[in-house]
Amino acid sequence: MTQASASDAPRRSAWRKSMRVLVPPVLLVVLLLAAAVAATIGAAGIPIGRIVAAFGLAPGNPALVDRDWLVLWSIRLPRIALAIIIGGLLATCGAVMQGLFRNPLADPALVGVSSGAGLAAAGIIVVGDRYLASTGVTLPIEALPLAAFVGALLTTMILYRIATREGRTSVAMFLLGGLAIAALANAGLGLLVFLADDRQLRDINFWMLGSLSGATWAKVGAIAPFLVALACVLPFIARGLDLLVLGEMEAFHAGVSVERLKRTCVVLVAAAAGAAVSVSGVIGFVGLVVPHLLRLLIGPGHRLLLPTAALLGAALLVIADTFARTLAAPAELPIGIVTAVIGAPFFLYLLLRQRALLGP
């Protein structure tokens, strides 16, 4: 058996090497195709030819061009852009979290980080409406993403404290601690549901299931900077995350400023999860599935894993959102349900593979 895997090794190596070259451009093409298809599908179908015309790249029927452009510009394109940004944020967030916790089962929604962000956001909705409205004070529009960020930051920090002792992270403590945090945050959300009136209830429900409906260019503009900031920081943490895989002490021995790296990662995770949750609610499993698939293809090195995760996450969410819009048309499924249907069985499969790590 040892010999068989030894002789397989060169072939696997050549395969991985070609994957490293192929995967990024292929993902980019997949993302563009998914976006193009998503633009054609919807309540008002727009064939690809008319989309080209609407962009003014080909001649078309002027009446149709104006109507198509209106649909594209005000409804479909902002939604696709939002799906791309949120998918990128969630998948990168998952990959960074998995590196930080040295554990492939990390996902912001699964271990309560998104719930913490959602709770903070819902708290702002109810408290803002109920107690501040009567005093005449209105919360600024930024209060919501800010609250989501703070909620995500607190839960990530608590989770880190629970799961890590003396530089070693326990997988079981991480998952169980995450479960407890998620339960607590969901209890808080339940309490807010109990207190909320009908309109607030709809808003809160949206946090709990996740949805990209109501996408606007303003929302896109509000969270795009988060993705840009994330992309700027990623190259600087990739090597540190690679070495962190050996353990905190060993990363320090190899020259990593472990405390600074950890702080950076916690803030990144919280910012990405908070930003995503503040516009789209809790969308699970993207951060879990995407990095895992990529590790199978291109290996675990973070230098390539982090940017490709953003691409695959974006493509995956555009596709999932297209399903969410069309499966029950004219009604819309919450996208969180779509990603959970794909992701939960995948999580079970990962758990079974990780059995050795978790113990009997």
Partner 1 sequence: MNPVLAATSISVRIGGKTLLDDVSLSLGFGEIVALVGPNGAGKSTLLRVLSGDLAPHAGTVRLNGRTLASYGPRALAGRRAVLSQSLNVAFPFTVAEIVRMGAGDGRGRRIDDLVEAALAEVDLGNFHERVITTLSGGEQQRAHFARVLVQLACGEAAHGPGLLLLDEPTANLDLRHQLDVMAAASARAARGVTVVAILHDLNLAALLAKRIVVLDHGRIDSDGEPGRVITDAMLERVLGVANAVGRTPAEGTPFVLPHAARKLLPGKS
DSSP per position, 155-177: HHHHHHHHHEETTEE-HHHHHHH
Segment contacting partner 1 by CB under 8 A, of 47-55, 210-218, 250-258, 339-347: 250-258
Q: Contact, 212 vs 82, CB < 8 A?
A: yes
Q: How many Cα atoms within 13 Å fall on the side-chain side of residue 278?
A: 27
Candidate residues 139, 224, 246, 267; the one interacting with partner 1 per rule CB under 8 A: 246
Candidate residues 104, 151, 313, 336; the one interacting with partner 1 per rule CB under 8 A: 104
Q: Contact, 105 vs 351, CB < 8 A?
A: yes
Shortest distance in whole angstroms from residue 102 CB to partner 1:
4
Segment contacting partner 1 by CB under 8 A, of 54-62, 251-259, 279-287, 315-323: 251-259
DSSP per position, 172-184: HHHHHHHHHHHHH
CA–chain centroid gap for 135, Å, is 36
Shortest distance in whole angstroms from residue 274 CB to partner 1:
26
Q: Is 308 exposed, middle or buried (0-12, 13-18, 19+ CB in 10 A)?
A: buried
> How many Cβ atoms from other residues are within 10 Å of residue 170's Cβ?
17
Closer residue to partner 1 in complex, CB, 99/188: 99
Using CB under 8 A, which residues numbered 160 to 219 contact partner 1? none
Candidate residues 62, 140, 255, 330; the one interacting with partner 1 per rule CB under 8 A: 255
Q: Contact, 24 vs 307, CB < 8 A?
A: yes
Report CA torsion sign: 203, 323, 105, 26. Answer: negative
Q: Both tokens of residue 205?
A: 């429900």
Shortest distance in whole angstroms from residue 36 CB to partner 1:
34
Closer residue to partner 1 in complex, CB, 5/134: 5
Shortest distance in whole angstroms from residue 104 CB to partner 1:
7
Strands in the chain per DSSP E: 164-165, 168-169
102 forms part of the interface with partner 1 (CB under 8 A): yes
- Nearest C-alpha neighbor of 180 from the set 118, 114, 112, 117: 112
Shortest distance in whole angstroms from residue 299 CB to partner 1:
7
Using CB under 8 A, which residues numbered 280 to 339 contact partner 1? 295, 299-301
Q: Contact, 276 vs 93, CB < 8 A?
A: yes
Using CB under 8 A, which residues numbered 31 to 60 contact partner 1? none
The residues, ordered by sequence, that sit 6+ positions from 223 with a Cβ below 8 Å of its Cβ are: 82, 85, 86, 89, 145, 275, 276, 278, 279
Candidate residues 46, 54, 86, 243; the one interacting with partner 1 per rule CB under 8 A: 243
Segment contacting partner 1 by CB under 8 A, of 3-11, 41-49, 143-151, 311-319: 3-11
Q: Both tokens of residue 17?
A: 């090497």
20 forms part of the interface with partner 1 (CB under 8 A): no
Residue type, 289: V
Segment contacting partner 1 by CB under 8 A, of 70-78, 173-181, 229-237, 245-253: 245-253
239 forms part of the interface with partner 1 (CB under 8 A): yes
Q: Is 166 exposed, middle or buried (0-12, 13-18, 19+ CB in 10 A)?
A: exposed
Candidate residues 129, 203, 250, 332; the one interacting with partner 1 per rule CB under 8 A: 250
107 forms part of the interface with partner 1 (CB under 8 A): no
10 forms part of the interface with partner 1 (CB under 8 A): yes
Shortest distance in whole angstroms from residue 173 CB to partner 1:
14
Closer residue to partner 1 in complex, CB, 248/321: 248
Candidate residues 215, 237, 256, 271; the one interacting with partner 1 per rule CB under 8 A: 256
Candidate residues 4, 5, 232, 331; the one interacting with partner 1 per rule CB under 8 A: 5
Residues in contact with partner 1 by the rule CB under 8 A: 5-6, 9-10, 12-13, 102-104, 239, 242-243, 245-247, 249-250, 252-258, 295, 299-301, 357
